A = this chain, B = another copy of it.
């Protein structure tokens, strides 16, 4: 890649991070290009699709979650590991508004630029879930795809302004369905 192109790409990404933080995943691409002092077709050249751009913004965090899962697999109780990881997943999925719809679309579309990251994340969750199930700590009738969906739904709740104040408590409620009988390690037990 030519030096000027590299510079444009990096700058576009930095600006996109700001704008998507402000406006969410459906931010105006025109606005991003404008604020990056670049013509719109330049943005399209580097990121042919809105998803390609968001993929680049998200992949880092998604892959970090997969690594984090490996870490947690080796430590603590299976139940606590899963609970902690779920909480961190929701936090990452909430980093930008509107990402949950994207996750849902990407996991189901092999052609999506985000697909690989989502599949990696789901696989990591599936391993943690299986370990907790083997220990009898997690609901047996759940699979990784459903865990992924629950994470997305909980992140979605946090994205809706009027539900956001309840999002933490509702995480606890749903987590208690995934990990029945677990009383330690969740947000509220840890708080008092």
Contacts and interface: CB of A to CB of B under 8 A. Distances in A.
Interface residues of A, number: 30
A185 B109 CA distance: 35
A160 B102 CA distance: 10
Interface stretch (A42-50, A63-71, A145-153): A145-153
Identical copies in the complex: 2
Interface stretch (A6-14, A30-38, A78-86, A162-170): A162-170
A121 to B, nearest CB: 14
A11 B174 CA distance: 43
Interface string A142-183: 100110011011101100111100100110011011100000
Interface of A: 101, 104-105, 107-109, 139, 141-142, 145-146, 149-150, 152-154, 156-157, 160-163, 166, 169-170, 173-174, 176-178
